[in-house]
Amino acid sequence: MELELRHLRTVRAIAETGSLTKAAASLGLAQPALSAQLRRIEKALGGALFDRDHTGARPTPLGELVLERARVVLPAVSELQQEAVRFANAHGPMARFRLGGTHGPLLGGLVDRLVAAHPTAPVSTYTSWSEAEIASQLVDGRLDFALIGACGESAPPAGDQLTWQVVGIDPVFVMLPDTHRFAAEPELDLAALADECWADVPGDGCFADCFVSACARAGFSPASVYEADTVSVVHLVQVGRAVGLCRATFPPTPGLVTRPLAGAPLSWRHLLGWHPRSAASAAAAGEVGGHALVAYADAVARSESYAHWLTAHPQFGPAG
């Protein structure tokens, strides 16, 4: 793993708060995700950066060295970013669209609409399972717009630096093989699936914790949860090894059905983000946001069952 600016920000946050729990809250991460990230950083740097016990986290000598360098590097990069944004602002409307996104149904639709609307403007994409990584690239000026998701009402990453627009809100559905004993049911109680294994794509937000909490409220603890890429999740469901968790806009897939959970215990907000100090992005945000809304509406329309479900649940669906 190569050291990135976001890793230095993580180390700085832990040192400033003196606690992984407080640092996770300040960074908008779940504590297990932050702990895993710190282990990867320490492995890349060759040693422990913090001594941790019940009283908190204190930098080791190696940690002090890294923090000393971070105090120089991070302000310098911030100054460079500000200068680059000012330079970009002085050069008129957007001549290209650099889009980032977590894996989901909207990025392809947004690309399609932007290419059709701006046939001479290059459109590029970057995808990652990490919402924090995508947001970091947006902050650093390496992306113009980002499409990510946020669990429930959780704050989006870098919310104090970026502007986020809600595109739509999906309930989380369950994905079943079409031979499953509940495949014909119009709606499922989460408790009815207590004996199942589960599959989901990874992320660095709070969704994994929220899912475990929803299961606890339903009276059980999930036996196992496989975290894998979307293709592998689909395969695990198709062969009957797991039931999957997915957004309601998950596209129709042979051999699978998606079903709502009673009471919609989990939800997912689709968000479009940009840097407010980039005049070009800010000026184009209305148009790009409109294209994202249409892409979301198209995704809803592809699922007849979800479109029907929305008529009785108006709190979900496209943003007003």
DSSP state of 261: B
- DSSP for 185-225, written as a single string: -SSB-GGGGTT--EEE---SSSHHHHHHHHHHHTT---S-E
Closest CA to 196 of 243, 235, 228, 236: 243
The segment(s) of the chain belonging to CATH 1.10.10.10 are 5-88
Q: Are strands 145-151 and 267-274 parallel, antiparallel or unpaired?
A: antiparallel
Contact 159, 27 (CB under 8 A): no
Q: How do residues 144-163 score in pLDDT, each as one tens digit?
A: 999 999 999 899 988 889 99
Q: Which CATH architecture has domain 95-320?
A: 3-Layer(aba) Sandwich (3.40)
- DSSP for 221-238, written as a single string: --S-EEE--HHHHHHHHH
Closest CA to 176 of 201, 151, 194, 193: 193
Q: How do residues 199-257 score in pLDDT, each as one tens digit?
A: 999 888 889 999 999 999 999 999 899 999 889 999 999 999 999 999 999 888 899 99
Hey, which of 18-27, 67-76, 159-168, 199-208 has the most confident mean pLDDT? 159-168
Residue 102, judged by CB atoms within 10 A of its CB (0-12, 13-18, 19+), counts as: buried
Q: Are strands 145-151 and 243-247 parallel, antiparallel or unpaired?
A: unpaired
What value does the mean pLDDT of the chain take? 89
- Top-confidence residue, 87 or 126: 126
Q: What gap in Å lies between CA 138 and CA 106, rounded to an integer?
A: 18
Contact 138, 246 (CB under 8 A): no
Q: Which fold has domain 5-88?
A: Arc Repressor Mutant, subunit A (1.10.10)
Q: How do residues 269-289 score in pLDDT, each as one tens digit?
A: 999 999 998 888 888 999 999
Say what the pLDDT of residue 110 is. 94
Contact 3, 44 (CB under 8 A): yes
In this structure, how many other beta carbons lie within 10 angstroms of the beta carbon of residue 16? 12
The segment(s) of the chain belonging to CATH 3.40.190.290 are 95-320
The number of helix segments (H) and strand segments (E) in the chain equals 10, 12
Query: What is the percent of the chain with per-residue pLDDT over 90, rounded to a whole number?
Result: 56
